[in-house]
Amino acid sequence: MILMSWNVNGLRAVVQKNFWDWLSGCGADVVGIQESKIQPGHEADFGGTEVYRTVWSSATVKKGYSGVGCFYRVEPHDISLELPDEAYVGEGRLIQMEFDDFYFFNVYFPNGGRGPDRLAYKFGYYDAFLAHAETLRRKKPIVVCGDFNTAHTALDLKNAKSNEKTSGFLPEERAWLDRFIAAGYVDTFRMFEPEGGHYTWWDYRFKARDRNVGWRIDYFFVSEELRGKVRRAWIDSAVMGSDHCPVGLDLDAS
């Protein structure tokens, strides 16, 4: 299976920038998008294509905020939205799909840069997600993609030293990713590329993308049981339309 993930930073905006052409040409079996910013009830405006069906989890707490969606041409056994913990329902951050060989999660993890309350919410969401994933992992392996809103190591952003006190690269945020990996989840891109300089998000200001001054905060993780099934993982940094770019995973699901 080919799986893709992209924080589009507003689906209405990216549709004006050749999103449908990209979708039809990407070759993916499932595409997870984050930060769709679609209001509940407006999802039918983006009802998929002849190839893809769609499912949405849109924010109910604020208009034009957050939201995730999946375009899929391989039919899952089951689909569910949001985490089971009620404290983290309403922001439209998660879609869960069950396939033959794994559970697939498309997640837009919270941004912790809007003050202490949101940073605490981010950590709570991280922990609630890991607990949920570990519960399901007793049945099947896990694939999780999306915008984690944290760069893991100094290799994953251009200016590590100057961002040590910035949310997205705080020691405690990075420590959670350490814990996630220690729990048995594999950063698939790092299976193939050990060097820095590969990013998935660039600030719109200061021509950051032109200068490749970026952060790698969009990932595909698989639980350790699927490590041997990973054939390829990559970043499509040439794809424009958002301040993020797509990331992909080629998984042997046979």
The active-site residue, picked from 103, 125, 126, 147, is 147
The active-site residue, picked from 72, 88, 103, 108, is 108
Residue pair 146/68 in contact by the 8 Å Cβ criterion: yes
**Encoded tokens for 150:** 């944290």
C-alpha 108/C-alpha 188 separation (Å) is: 18
C-alpha 82/C-alpha 100 separation (Å) is: 21
Task: Indicate if 125 belongs to the active site.
Answer: no
Task: Indicate if 147 belongs to the active site.
Answer: yes
- The DSSP call for residue 216 is -
The active-site residue, picked from 103, 199, 219, 244, is 244
* Angle made by CA atoms 180, 135, 80, in degrees to the nearest 5: 100
Strand ranges for the chain from DSSP E = 2-7, 30-34, 53-57, 68-72, 78-81, 94-98, 103-108, 142-147, 185-187, 201-202, 214-215, 218-223, 230-235, 247-251
Binding-site residues, in ranges, read 7, 35, 147, 149, 243-244
Task: Indicate if 244 belongs to the active site.
Answer: yes
Binding-site residues for Mg(2+), in ranges, read 7, 35, 147, 149, 243-244
Active site residues: 108, 147, 244
